[in-house]
Every structure is written in C-alpha cells, then in structure tokens.
Structure 1
Amino acid sequence: MIALGRTAGFSLDDIVVAFGPQGDLRVDRAALLGKADELDRTITQLTAVRDGLRHAAACPAPSHAECPTFRHLLREVMAGRIATIDALTP
C-alpha cells in the first residue's frame, strides 16, 4: 500500500492516515478523487510542454521569435497557465 500510494504521489503522512489504529485500511475516496484531478492537471501541463518542445524542434520558422505557436506557448508560461517542470514534479 505504501509503494502504491507513493507512486500515486501521496506523501507518507497522507498514507499513514489511510490506516486505522488496528492497521485496517480506511480509504478516503475524496482524497483519491482529488489526487486523480491533480494528476489530470499535471498530465495536461506536461502534454502542452511536450507538444511545445516537439514543435520547437521541427518548426520551419526562421527563428522561434517569429513562430506564432512558440510565442503562444511562451505567453502561456509567462502568464502562469503552464507551470514549470520543477513545479510539477515532487
């Protein structure tokens, strides 16, 4: 259970709460749904970053400053709508 919880991104403190005093498992379904929602947001963010990197690598524009797709991605990052990688990873 600990390994599964850690893989999903739960802290050890979160995991400890899932066990009762006798070691019985108490699943907090709301916490599971919250974590799933968080993972969905992270997946969306990382997908946008991945797609931006792939586009930048293959972009036919003379420079990235002239590429509308790259400029859009840059605006999204600067506005905080796309998080930096270090903010997404534990």
Structure 2
Amino acid sequence: MKTIDIAELSQQTGLPASTLRYYEEKSLISAIGRRGLRRLFDASVFQRLALVALGRSAGFSLSEISAFLLSDHKSPIDRDALRAKADEVDRQIHTLQQVREGLLHVAQCPEPSHLKCPRFQRMMRIAAKKQARAVNR
C-alpha cells in the first residue's frame, strides 16, 4: 500500500498541513500512522479530500460532510438533505441574480448620486431589513 506523508499531501492538494490536521480532527480524513513526526495517509485520502471539496462547493458544512463520510456506506444517502441543499442553492441563485440586476442598474443610473436613485434606496432598505432579521435570529 502506497503511503503519503502530510507534507507531500499538502503539496499535491494545495491544502495547508494545518487544514489537513483540522480535517483529521473532524474525522474527515484519518492518518494510518507516522513517519517520525509526520502523519502518513494512504492513497484513499485523495478521494476523501475530493468529496470534502465537492461538499464544500455545494455549501455543506464540515459537520454535514463528516456525517455523509461517516455513514456505513450501506445506508442510503440522505436524499432529503441533498434536496434541501439544492433548494437553498436555488434561493441563493435568485438572491444573487437580484443583486446583480441592482448593481447593473445603479452602474447605469442617470441620477448624479447613487443615494438619490430610488431603486438604490430600495435596495438599501431591503438589505437593512435582511441584516436586522439575521441579527435577531
């Protein structure tokens, strides 16, 4: 079995060794031993790190990813969690599209000051309300 030490793994993945140690602490990856003071991993660590990267790009937290990775592989994937995340991504897309449209409007707005633009003022009110709701949660 081919092993790779943490320095090599860091170099090949671009992840700092501190991140790899943190992932190990969170049970996302696991060392199979040590060579001196360096942790050793088997080649399957690349697949696990790719799964972590995929999960992060989909917006899952490390604890959610850990739960997926710790499953016994006999249990079905939590498809409800995947659907809920897809719904969340759809909401984020919708919000970002609105922000984009607003930014483009303000960039082209004929008002001499953005603060005098009615649409920009409405955007600021909406942003302030969202921030207040987030703080009160």
Asked if Structure 1 and Structure 2 have the same fold, meaning a TM-score greater than 0.5 normalized by the shorter chain, the answer is yes
The range that moved more, 66-75 or 20-29, is 20-29
1:39-78 CA distance string (max 9 Å, x none): 1121122222222211111111122232221111111112
CA RMSD of aligned residues (A): 2.6
Identity of aligned residues (%): 46
The structure 1 segments of at least 4 consecutive aligned residues displaced by more than 3 Å after TM superposition are 19-26
Contact persistence 1:52–1:73 (CA under 8 A): yes
Instruction: Mark the runs of 5 or more structure 1 residues left unpaired by the alignment.
Output: none
Matches within 5 A, 1:2-17: 2-17=52-67
Which one has the largest radius of gyration?
A: 2
Residue 70 in structure 1 maps to residue 120 in structure 2: yes
Counterpart amino acid of residue 13 in structure 1: S
Number of residues of Structure 1 aligned to a counterpart in Structure 2: 83
Residue 61 in structure 1 maps to residue 111 in structure 2: yes
Higher strand share: 2
Counterpart amino acid of residue 127 in structure 2: V
Matches within 5 A, 1:11-90: 11-19=61-69, 22-24=72-74, 26-80=76-130
The structure with higher relative contact order (CA 8 Å, sep 6+) is 1
Q: What TM-score, normalized to structure 2?
A: 0.50
Instruction: Mark the runs of 5 or more structure 2 residues left unpaired by the alignment.
Output: 1-50
Structure 1 residues 6 and 65: CA distance shift in structure 2, 3 A: closer
Q: What TM-score, normalized to structure 1?
A: 0.71
1:11 CA drift (Å): 2.0
